[in-house]
Structure 1
Amino acid sequence: MRDPFQSSNRKRRTIRLIDIDSWVDTGLFRTGRFIGAKIEAFSVFMRRFRLTGFPRAVSEVGSDALTLGLGGAVLAVALALPAFDATRNGWESQGDYSVTFLDRNGNEIGKRGIKRKETVPLEEMPDHLIKAVLATEDRRFFTHFGIDVPGTVRAMGENLRADAVVQGGSSLSQQLAKNLFLSNERTLERKIKEAFLALWLETNMSKEEILKLYLDRAYMGGGNFGVEAASEYYFGKSVKDVNLAEAALLAGLFKAPARYAPHVNLPAARARANEVLTNMVQAGFLTEGQVIGARRHPANVIEQTDTAGSPNYFMDWAFDQVKQLRLKGDRSLTVRSTVDLGFQKVADEAVETILREKADVYRARQAAMVVVEPDGAVRAMVGGRDYGESQFNRATDALRQPGSSFKPFVYATAMMNGYTPQSIVRDAPLCIGGWCPRNYSGGYSGAVSLTTALVKSINIIPVRLAQAIGRDKIVETAKKMGLTTELLITRSLPLGAAEVKVVDMAGAYAVFANGGYKATPYAFTQVMNSRGDVLYDRRKDAPPPERALDDTTVAAMNEILSQVPEWGTGRRAKLDGIKTAGKTGTTSAYRDAWFVGYTGNYAAAVWMGNDNYQPTRRLTGGSLPATIWNQVMTYAHAGVPVKPIPFVEPEDGDSDAVVAEAETPEGGEDVRSAATLSAAATAQLIRLEELMRSARPLRPVASLAVPRPIGEIGLAGADPATTNLPALPDAR
């Protein structure tokens, strides 16, 4: 028997663990006491430097300033990174392209880019031209670091005093940064990027190089970029030979080329030149005696063909598209574009006429429009009301909410997930969390078909559909159809609470017009170098079109959207004798108004609103945008064979043209079925069915001894006060 008092291995292991634990505890205690002693010693040492009174206040302010400065530096870096992305990918060489644009018929319509042989070295430009530009645009250009702080403060003070923007505080470097990398959109984000890019220019380029780039690339009116092109255009001479009066006129164009362009408004141009001369005197560059001659003998301009009708917005967009090809070698290019000058002129005139007549009534100051063929070829583009006043392209760069014109993406997704135009969905109050959407009319229609819901633009139905099929699927469909902007998945997405571009909307609706294939808008079909060699040919180099929607979905959507101009919200867009389809859109507070529609020949998107997002005066998509769309598309279809909308019965007026190839067989029997109902008749039957479904049952009349005809019983037995007929709201 083992001695119970004999030690065991387990006992020894336990003792060793206790020893280790004791050693660790002792070590931690001693380490903590050592650190505490050191901290106490450091505190005693630092007491020698304790400040009181004014020195302490200065020290604390300096410490706080250092902390805020470090935080500001981190924030500045975060804001600067997106701006500096624009300086990558060889931006300087890309800008050196020289592109001559031809319209779809091969006629020259304009140029973009810079020709090296047309530039003039800075040292060869007249001294009075340089002084005129600096005196007017940036007097402290050679002394500031890219941002003119005193000038910015002065401009802010003047603007606050006038309660309006009367002076610009941007330095010449900032203006160049905007011209090279950014758009003209008036946003805080753009101003921040502009400031950082100006600092980047000042760091990477000399003052002379910045000034030279500015003089070469600024827009000078009449479709001209740079002082050399403007001098040739207005005076018929090189910029090296301009006199003081002519230099003052050129310097006055930088502020507002359209307003002061001498070929458009010579008196205004001369008045502006006179202001430039005054600026030169105030800046100390010249004396009053030196400018008196230029005041008495203002500049004259030569007569030239007016290029006011040039598709400048389109050419800017097309120029960007050319640069994205990244063609190597010869940079002097000739591009055969897709634009049709006839379309372009009509589109420009329609937009300007409507805005001139109705802008004050509806408080809508801007509009944009894009017309494309079903494959995506852009025939006309209106990027704004006045290119000279603002080169910001609202058709390709502005992000606006589409409102109800987004709903076709919801319905198309529903059609791909088992729904049909005849599917019934209930229009009744609905809340998702704390969000409760409402119909434009304020009421509800009960059980309605998807056809009626979309034609009358009922809001509740697409929200219910999104709940059933999933908002992520809607986003996927919109992307497949051509929307390029990021679509946030929110509860209000089915009602158009997203940001889209006009050009993307035109291309997306073209999917319906071409039978379901993605139709990315494109600007040109051919690119040639200076020797005539074809560098790009769309017929060979473009990828084949992708299928975006299946035939069943296209047929269902075209069936519905072709009824919107018939008895829905887009009646003003209906074309005489031509089958028309489309959708209106109006956003909250009437900030955006849309009509996007199509025929078998073309698709077009029209947007109206304000650059500053101010609400309009109850402007809806079914009013002015639909009117503009109608005017342009009426011209587009004049004298051309009318193509059918896929899977939709044509109008009576164009049925001969559409079915001309369907020959009648021998015997004279027409192959077309006489039993086929028109789209309008089908819509009326659907409405009648909805009324019958939603009506309350008739009350029996017990006092009648003799049965009466059913029609009489219906009239006598139905109580008008209690019969629940659904109201069809006049939605947007």
Structure 2
Amino acid sequence: MDRRTDKNAKSERASAKWSKLRRRIGWMTLLALISLACAGYLLLKYAPLPAGATMQSTRILDANGQTIASLKGGVNRPTAKLADISPWLIKATLAVEDRRFYEHAGVDWRGLARAAWVDLRHMAKEQGASTLTQQLARNLYLSHERTWTRKLKEAWYAGRLEQSFSKDEILELYLNQIYYGHGAYGAEAASRLYFNKPAKELTIAESALLAGIPKGPRYYSPHLNPKSSRARQRKVLQAMRETGQITKLQAERAARENVKVRALPEEEERAAPYFAEYVKKIAVERLGIDERLMNEGGLTIRTTLDLRVQRAAEAAVKKGLKGAAEELQTALIAVDPRNGYIKAMVGGRNFRVNQYNRVFASSRQPGSSFKPIVYAAALENRTITAATRFRSEPTLFYFDGARQIYRPSNYNGRYFHEEIGLRQAIAASDNIYAVHTIMQAGPENVIAMARKLGIASPLKAVPSLALGTFPVSPFEMAYAFSVFAGGGIRAEPIAITLVQDRRGKILYESHPRREQVLEPALAYVTTHLLKSVFERGGTARRVSKMLNRPVAGKSGTTDSDAWFVGYTPELTTAVWVGYDRGRSITSGEAHRAAPIFAQFTEEALTDTPPKGFPMPEGVVHAYIDPSSGLLASPACPGEGTVEVFLQGTEPARACGPLGPVVEPETRRSEQPNRHWWKKLRKWWRS
């Protein structure tokens, strides 16, 4: 009993000690929390706010370090009192950005919880939760990196702003600080830029349009993306109606109103303006760089463009369109097939007048410039070879189980009215031969080839696909042909190689990706055939004298589009000429694309020695009788011509009555010797 009593006593003493220790820890924790709360309150109440961020120029450089554009130029930041800003703009901004602005203390915890719940339900970031005060704090004091540290600082600065300024003062600061695109900061600058009027005179429709821009100044720009801008305007009007700022009738009238947006003022002429805009778009939309950081964060963006090559492109376009109608437009893009680097880009005749970049316009029918893709597909699956012959004459083609008929015709109704080979069909751009080929190869295989080459635009498996009736962009065509130029390797398109912040920290660095999508032999055979376009009887024979190096390519003409896509081992270029609204082009206008290509290519490569396309393994040459497509022999009239084949697809039989089967060792020769052939002919006849 004594032992048990002693044990209980000890246990009670230990329990008392632990209880006392817990109470002490509890009091200490409570004191610490109170101290932290007091410190936080004092900091929130009295700690000075830091100075606002200093704007620094962001530079876009070419591959050699030369400045293409400086994004600090043209900054427009006049200020206005809140009383001098249209109440409609204030209401529109609050409705779409921060409906509980006058209720929260800097951070809207209710809105934060609601946004988190919506994001959780949709398993994606559907709603933002930053208040106007938080946005102002971020713009004034912080970078735009997406970290928890930055978010905590943002919340603290927002609370500090709420302690230091009234709600109206914060709203005024916000409306004078926010970026509205095209160098305009603040409501006053934006109102004068877009509508040429002070901010106090903005209508409901104009206010809704402006209030929608800050969420994405590029994407919702009425100049760059008018459709998206109008859709965003309607969303703002709906938000104003939901919050009771306007009536249903006012919203409907504003949505119907034709808001006239002032043309952008002319800027100082700058190099590669279409490319600079493309780089900004890529940086913001693909690399995730905040647009404010892009415009004033002091970034250095190194690109693939070569300013010397760019100037050659601009000069060729200017000369090529000299004397043409003012509405006639053009696009040119040149890429290095070895690494996918964009070397030059011209998106139109005049960037000041129209910023629309036609390099990426996917509403242009490529016409006959699409045929090399058809022939590459047929060569790959061994459906045709350079010796395959089809008759060039008006022909009916049955498809879809013979339920439909296709009646193609040649340009200007010109036909050979005899059988022709692939090289002749390519040179003369014979449509009948191309449709015969797609019927043999299968439209599905042609689409598969287009996808391998990087063409993503919608295509349908019908015979007319062979004649380029489905729209693609010059960008797609340039990269598709670069696979032929690069020996079957498809290189990922690259415009930006490096992005650094103002301290030199690397934010992004490109890593070129290359993939072998075609056999090198197939790419070479296709290229060899496309060289005929510049030879006698070819559609580009008129510009062949302008070129002093091996070149391959293909022209294309439709009722409203003229193309030339061509390449050397170092440079692939797509040129388009036409009208924005699909207006028909004349014969003279259709012939402007090829000279632009030729002049540009020679000038761009002026410091590069001429270089042939290297022949890989798996390619053979053979003498072909042009009248039969068989191996030439002395038994047939006329001279044989040297033709190129994928190994194993060259003809096995010689021409003439019951021509003999020729062994591979006899008919193959990578370097045909005409002197040897003449001796053989003489021996045969004797």
TM range (shorter): 0.5 to 0.7
Gap change, CA 1:472 and 1:643, over 3 Å in 2: same
CA 1:113–1:477 in 2, change beyond 3 Å: closer, same or farther? farther
> 1:466 aligns to what?
438
Please state if 1:421 is matched with 2:421.
Answer: no
Which residue of structure 2 aligns with residue 635 of structure 1?
603
Partners of 2:261 and 2:230 in 1: CA distance? 23
- Structure 2 residue aligned with 1:524: 496
Give the 3 Å change call, closer, same or farther, for CA 628–580 of structure 1 in structure 2. Answer: same
1:19-58 Cα distance to aligned partner (Å, 9 max, x none):
xxxxxxxxxxxxxxxxxxxxxxxxxxxxxxxxxxxxxxxx
Q: Is the 8 A contact 2:218 2:281 kept in 1?
A: no
What is the identity, as a one-letter code, of the residue corresponding to 2:363? L
Q: Distance in 2 between matches of 1:115 and 1:132?
A: 14
1:561 aligns with 2:561: no
Question: Quick one: structure 1 residues 127 and 115, their matched pair in 2 at CA, closer, same or farther if it must change by over 3 Å?
Answer: closer
> Structure 2 CA distance, aligned partners of 1:315 and 1:111?
10
- For 1:369, what is the secondary structure of its paired residue? strand
Q: Distance in 2 between matches of 1:315 and 1:126?
A: 24
Residue 352 of structure 2: aligned partner? 388
Say if 1:560 and 1:319 are closer, same or farther in 2 by CA, change over 3 A.
same
Q: Secondary structure at the match of 2:463?
A: coil
The Cα offsets for residues 474-501 of structure 1, whole Å up to 9 and x where unpaired, read as 1111111121222233331110011111
SS at match of 1:498: coil
Q: Which amino acid aligns with 1:634?
A: E
8 Å contact from structure 2 (residues 554, 565) kept in 1: yes
Match of 1:103 among 37, 62, 75: 62
Normalising by structure 1, we get a TM-score of 0.54
Q: Output the amino acid matched with 2:333.
A: V
- In structure 1, what residue type is equivalent to 2:406? W
| C-alpha contact (below 8 Å) 1:573/1:629 kept by paired residues | no
Give the equivalent residue in structure 1 for 2:182. none
Is 1:198 matched with 2:233?
yes
Question: 2:19 maps to which residue?
Answer: none
2:576 aligned to 607, 610, 617, which one?
A: 607
Query: Which residue of structure 2 lines up, in the alignment, with residue 321 of structure 1?
Result: 282
CA shift, 1:172, in A, is: 5.4
Cα distance in 1 for residues equivalent to 2:477 and 2:447: 14
Matches within 5 A, 1:304-315: 307-315=268-276
The alpha-carbon distance between structure 1 residues 620 and 345, as it changes in their structure 2 partners (threshold 3 A), is same
Residues 327, 195 of structure 1: CA spacing in aligned structure 2 closer, same or farther, 3 A cutoff? closer
One-letter code of the match for 2:310? Q
Q: Alpha-carbon deviations, 1:53-109, whole Å to 9, x = none?
A: xxxxxxxxxxxxxxxxxxxxxxxxxxxxxxxxxxxxxxxxxxx99842111101222
Pairing partner for 2:309 from 343, 346, 353: 343
Aligned residue in 2 for 1:180? 218
Deviation of 1:528 after TM superposition, in Å, equals 1.8
Q: The residue matched to 2:448 in structure 1 has which SS?
A: helix
Alpha-carbon distance in structure 1 between the residues aligned to 2:188 and 2:286: 40
1:271-330: CA deviation from partner (whole Å, max 9, x where unpaired): xxxxxxxxxxxxxxxxxxxxxxxxxxxxxxxxxxxx514111011112222234435797
Shift of residue 648, structure 1, vs aligned partner: 9.4
Q: How big is the shift at 1:531?
A: 1.9
Assess if the C-alpha contact under 8 Å between 1:513 and 1:646 holds in 2: no
Mark the CA change 1:326 to 1:481 in structure 2 (over 3 Å): closer, same or farther: same
User: What's the CA shift for 1:176?
Assistant: 8.3
Contact 2:387 2:629 in 1 (8 A): no
Counterpart-to-counterpart distance in 2, 1:324 and 1:128: 27
Cα gap change, 1:468 to 1:356, in 2 (>3 Å): same
Unmatched 5+ residue regions in structure 2? 1-54, 80-172, 178-184, 242-259, 399-403, 638-686
Change (3 A) 1:648 1:423: farther
Task: Check conservation: 2:176, 2:188, Cα contact below 8 A.
Answer: no
State how 1:83-482 maps to structure 2 within 5 Å: 99-112=58-71, 122-123=175-176, 136=196, 142-145=202-205, 180-181=218-219, 193-202=228-237, 254-258=262-266, 307-327=268-288, 332=297, 333-357=299-323, 359-360=324-325, 365-374=328-337, 375-418=339-382, 419-428=384-393, 429-432=395-398, 433-445=404-416, 446-482=418-454
Aligned partner of 1:502 in structure 2 is 474
1:626 is paired with a residue whose SS is helix
Q: How many residues align?
A: 443
SS at match of 2:462: coil
DSSP-derived class of the 1:508 partner: helix
CA apart distance, 1:349:
2.0
Q: Which 10-residue stretch deviates more, 102-111 or 114-123? A: 114-123
Deviation at 1:629, TM superposition (A): 0.7
Match of 2:519 in 1: 550
1:254 deviation in Å? 4.2
2:63·2:304 contact (CA, 8 Å) conserved in 1?
A: yes
2:551 corresponds to: 580
Contact 1:606 1:628 in 2 (8 A): yes
**SS of aligned partner of 1:181:** coil
The residue number in structure 2 matching 1:491 is: 463
Consecutive unaligned residues of structure 1, counting only runs of 5 or more, are 1-95, 149-170, 207-251, 262-306, 650-674, 699-732
Equivalent pair of 2:548/2:610 in contact (CA under 8 Å): no
After TM superposition, the score normalised by the length of structure 2 is 0.57
Task: Kindly state the Cα deviation for residue 364 of structure 1 after the two structures are TM-superposed.
Answer: 6.1
Q: Is the Cα contact below 8 Å between 1:594 and 1:607 reproduced in 2?
A: yes
> What is the alpha-carbon distance in structure 2 between the residues aligned to residue 177 and residue 536 of structure 1?
23
Q: CA deviation at 1:471?
A: 0.9
- CA separation in 1, counterparts of 2:438 and 2:186? 65
Residue of structure 2 aligned with 1:597, choices 556, 560, 566: 566
Deviations 1:563-582 (A, max 9, x none): 11112111234354311110
Q: What do residues 149-203 of structure 1 show as CA deviations (whole Å, max 9, x unaligned)?
A: xxxxxxxxxxxxxxxxxxxxxx6568889963268899xxx76554322122445
320 and 431 in structure 1: CA distance in 2 versus 1, 3 angstrom threshold:
same
Q: Which moved more, 1:612-621 or 1:551-560?
A: 612-621
* Alpha carbons 1:466, 1:474 under 8 Å: kept: yes
CA contact (8 A) 1:585 1:620 kept: no
Structure 1 residue 522 displacement after superposition: 1.5
Q: Is the 8 A contact 2:345 2:359 kept in 1?
A: yes
